[in-house]
Amino acid sequence: MNVSEIGKFALLDRLNAGFEAQQQSTVKSFDDAAVVAASSKPKQISSVTFLEGIHFNLVYTPLKHLGYKTVTHAVSKIAAMNALPQQILVSVGASSRFNVSDIESLYEGIHAACSEYSIDLVGNNVTTSMTGMAINITAIGEAPESSLCYTSGAKVNDLVCISGSLGAAYMGLQVLERERRIFESNRTQPKLDGYDYVLQKQLRPQARIDMLKAFEDNEIQPSSMTAITDGLASDILHVCKQSDAGVRIYIEKIPIASETFAVCKEMNFDAVTAALNGGDEFELLFTVPISEYERVRGLSGFEIIGYITDASQGAYLVTPEGNELKIKAQGWTSVTG
């Protein structure tokens, strides 16, 4: 069934069917607007846009996974402020090549993410696009002002920490792109067995909201924080710029999973480069005062990879031999890179 046959409002009714509010602050949701209760706590807002051919390729990205990933990206930015996401608003532009079933598949992933992260979908807007698909997600969160983190709070001697591991999402993309090229050249079916870890990191990444509870339970207040969306190099340089600081990152401390190393070896790609310049990780990069060292060093779920310096000392990687290499950000260009 084409979207034009069912009409916008009937489509929205189908997309919203059975979706119940989980947050007390959700007062009323309309088709493309919402009422959210005010509170004494500050509200945090983030917005992300995904464009077909720039941020995703539907040759190998299932629409359900795409819906899940777009929500993950938006709520990760809320989590990076040490705040819990509560609501999202979604706008989708789709060309005539997408039918009702396609849009429902996209929203199946959006609903799955909302359920997993305990957030409410409070506004929808579906419109016609001349070409391809475009998705915008606006996320709203809440946290006490005393808990909030920004990229501008890092201080000299703060420890630099990261949740999870890096490079897997980038290598998952390399696998998918390789198989796409092979398929387009000789119609050979993709061989994806054995790549589960890196493919999941690329197609269905997780927002690290769980880290916020770990901070609270262990009375840890990060001094700065950001979600890794553009690669470790880009994001740590952004923290340094916003905090007017420098940094030393130890290469051997950068967490890289064995599965990622294996794919890098197979594809003759440097794993550290993948970790530094690959994006779409959504892991949390944060700093904590060095006075918290004894408290944080024994906790699981993240690694200490360096420390903040004075801005005059610049931003450098430190090799196992003690040599220093200036950090350069190539940036994340997703499927077009």
Please check whether residue 153 lies inside any domain of the structure: no
Q: Has residue 337 got a pLDDT over 90? A: no
Q: Check whether residue 177 and residue 281 sit in a common domain.
A: yes
Please check whether residue 63 lies inside any domain of the structure: yes
Length in residues, the chain: 337
Q: Read off the pLDDT of each residue in 54-58 and give the average, rounded to a whole number.
A: 94
What CATH number does residue 23 fall under? 3.30.1330.10
Q: Check whether residue 170 and residue 306 sit in a common domain.
A: yes
Q: Check whether residue 137 and residue 208 sit in a common domain.
A: no
Q: Check whether residue 180 and residue 319 sit in a common domain.
A: yes
Q: Has residue 290 got a pLDDT over 80? A: yes
Please check whether residue 209 lies inside any domain of the structure: yes
Please check whether residue 195 lies inside any domain of the structure: yes
pLDDT category at 190 given cuts 50, 70, 90 is confident
Q: Check whether residue 180 and residue 244 sit in a common domain.
A: yes
Residue with more model confidence, 90 or 3: 90
In what side-by-side order are the strands of the sheet with 224-227?
Answer: 224-227, 284-288, 159-163, 302-310, 245-250, 315-318, 324-326
Q: Check whether residue 141 and residue 10 sit in a common domain.
A: yes
Burial of 188 (0-12, 13-18, 19+ CB in 10 A): exposed
Q: Check whether residue 133 and residue 169 sit in a common domain.
A: no
Both structure tokens of 235: 């994001």
Q: Check whether residue 214 and residue 131 sit in a common domain.
A: no
Residue with more model confidence, 37 or 178: 178
Q: Check whether residue 119 and residue 217 sit in a common domain.
A: no
Please check whether residue 232 lies inside any domain of the structure: yes
The pLDDT mean for the chain works out to 89
Q: Check whether residue 163 and residue 74 sit in a common domain.
A: no
pLDDT category at 336 given cuts 50, 70, 90 is very low
Q: Check whether residue 209 and residue 315 sit in a common domain.
A: yes
Q: Read off the pLDDT of each residue in 65-93 and give the average, rounded to a whole number.
A: 96
Task: Tell me if 247 sits within 8 A of 236, measured CB to CB.
Answer: yes
What CATH number does residue 319 fall under? 3.90.650.10
pLDDT category at 187 given cuts 50, 70, 90 is confident
Total domains in the chain come to 2
pLDDT category at 239 given cuts 50, 70, 90 is very high
Show the domain range for 331: 159-336
Please check whether residue 154 lies inside any domain of the structure: no
β-pairing, 284-288 vs 159-163, is: antiparallel
Q: What is the 3-state secondary structure (H, E, C) of the chain?
A: CEHHHHCHHHHHHHHHCCCCCCCCCEEEECCCCEEECCCCCCEEEEEEEEEECCCECCCCCCHHHHHHHHHHHHHHHHHCCCCEEEEEEEEEEECCCCEHHHHHHHHHHHHHHHHHHCCEEEEEEEEECCCCEEEEEEEEEECCHHHCCCCCCCCCCCEEEEECCCCHHHHHHHHHHHHHHHHHHHCCCCCCCCCHHHHHHHHCCCCCCHHHHHHHHCCCCCCEEEECCCCHHHHHHHHHHHHCEEEEEEHHHCCCCHHHHHHHHHCCCCHHHHHHHCCCCCCEEEEECHHHHHHHCCCCCEEEEEEEEEHHHCEEEECCCCCEEECCCCCCCHHHC
Task: Tell me if 248 sits within 8 A of 316, measured CB to CB.
Answer: yes
Residue with more model confidence, 233 or 131: 233
| Among 109, 125, 147, residue at a domain's last position | 147
| Among 121, 147, 173, residue at a domain's last position | 147
Question: What pTM does this model have?
Answer: 0.88
Please check whether residue 152 lies inside any domain of the structure: no
Please check whether residue 203 lies inside any domain of the structure: yes
Task: Tell me if 37 sits within 8 A of 24, measured CB to CB.
Answer: yes
Q: Check whether residue 172 and residue 142 sit in a common domain.
A: no
| Among 101, 121, 147, residue at a domain's last position | 147
